[in-house]
Structure 1
Amino acid sequence: MPKDAPDRYHYHVMARAIEAVDRLGPKATLDQLATEMSMSPAHFQRMFSQWAGVSPKRLQQYLTLGHAKVLLAERFTTLDTAHASGLSGSSRLHDLFLRWEAMSPGDFARAGAGLTIRYGWFDSPFGPALVMGTAKGICGIGFTADCTEAEAMHDLSRRWPDAQYVEDPEALRPWVASAFGAQQGEVPLYLIGAPFQIKVWEALMRIPSGHVTTYSEIAQAIGAPKAVRAVGTAVGRNPISYLIPCHRALRKSGGLGGYHWGLPVKRALLAWESARIEA
């Protein structure tokens, strides 16, 4: 896609806005933020509204560093009851079309030998994205807003070093269009990981859009309450960003924790989802 594609441009504006909000503080006016971005206030407001669906002033609240604490207080999800309460149904951003299956432990141990993984580069609401998939579904999504394309390719491909990689964006495009909301359709996922990792990733998929949970809550939900550190590692190893929503896992303190593709991307993801809940 061209470099000035709308999704990529809008995320670039968002990334700069996060930096400006951090530097100027949450009380910065629309005029101040627009000046920081070398835009007219009207143009700046239009870009924000197109990306987030809410005004820049409202979105500022979601971009502040304290927003994670608000989410924990107001939209915390107890995973053991999330499904029963309906949160993992109507409130999930992708439940309507998302389905998944996992690679067997034996196949995972073979490090991708005999597996063909197709890949392509796409624009997304969160910047340029590398998407990988097998015949069974998407197996990898990485964002390159905070890294190079070569780094993202190395990061994902080294997880399954013996697989055959074929650049073929057209084979993935219908799934990608559905995943990022450009069209309606099924989004199959193919989870390639160790059994413990897949347990953690399955728990992540039970967190509703616009809601959050904690690493310790995930550990409790998978029956390993003392394995919080291991859970954190598995969350960080999630290969399918956004669709397996590791960005919704926070520290008990309200800290964002880490994010494999950069904390600005995590904050943008949480802000984007919060805006859609409000809208």
Structure 2
Amino acid sequence: MCANIKFHIISPTDKDPEEIQIYYDLIETEFGYSLFGIQDNKLCHISFQDDDVPNLEKLKVSWPNANLIHDPRGMKEIAKKVFDGADGKVDVLLKGTDLQVSVWKALTKIKSGTTVSYEKMAELVGKPRAIRPVARAVATNKIAYLIPCHRVIKKNGDIHKYGSGPERKKKMLSYEGAI
């Protein structure tokens, strides 16, 4: 997986520009179809789905004022960086609270082929008592796989709950050699 990520942060209290353009495309990946969203040359969305018809609802919720435009140009190259580990930097646009952003950045430090518990994630971000808020931040990750929320599992080792289904999470972890 691409490790060269440059983060650009927007606070949720900042007002979204009224006329932002998000270009999207659906890419077939090892883990099913993946919807990519790019805003101003920054990756702002990756989600998985089971069919080849773009489901834009999650993208619309994250960016309610955006004008969504289907445009596949350049998406396959970004997908190669994300899923195949192709060389190059990926600019990522995150919109979240300080805690969410700290959790998302910490997720990128979990090595492929390993997992951590929600409790360990809370410790990693310096909030050992904030397990539930940290778990919510993990669950609200809008850039699946590149920000590897799938590497967080229950303390007892159970693989449960994943925005794109626990079976997809198991497939990702198996692919990375974690299970």
- How much identity, in percent, do the aligned residues show? 30
Larger radius of gyration: 1
Q: 2: CA distance between counterparts of 1:240 and 1:176?
A: 12
Partner in structure 2 of residue 166 of structure 1? 69
Partner in structure 2 of residue 157 of structure 1? 60
Query: Is residue 8 of structure 2 the alignment partner of residue 102 of structure 1?
Result: yes
The Cα RMSD (Å) is 2.2
Query: Is residue 87 of structure 2 the alignment partner of residue 181 of structure 1?
Result: no
Matching of residues 54-69 of structure 1 within 5 Å: none
State the AA in 1 paired with 2:8: A
Partner in structure 2 of residue 224 of structure 1? 127
Contact 1:102 1:198 in 2 (8 A): no
> Normalising by structure 2, what TM-score?
0.89
Partner in structure 2 of residue 209 of structure 1? 112
Q: CA deviation at 1:182?
A: 7.8
State the AA in 2 paired with 1:143: F
* Structure 2: segments with no counterpart, 5+ residues: none
* Structure 1: segments with no counterpart, 5+ residues: 1-92
Contact 2:6 2:89 in 1 (8 A): no
> Normalising by structure 1, what TM-score?
0.59
Partner in structure 2 of residue 233 of structure 1? 136
Bigger share in strand: 2
State the AA in 2 paired with 1:99: I
Moved more, 243-252 or 157-166: 157-166
Partner in structure 1 of residue 30 of structure 2? 125
Aligned length: 179
Matching residue within 235, 242, 255 for 2:158:
255
Matching residue within 29, 37, 43 for 1:138:
43
Bigger share in helix: 1
Q: SS state of the match for residue 139, structure 1? A: strand
Q: 1: CA distance between counterparts of 2:111 and 2:86?
A: 21
Q: SS state of the match for residue 177, structure 2? A: helix
Q: CA deviation at 1:187?
A: 2.5
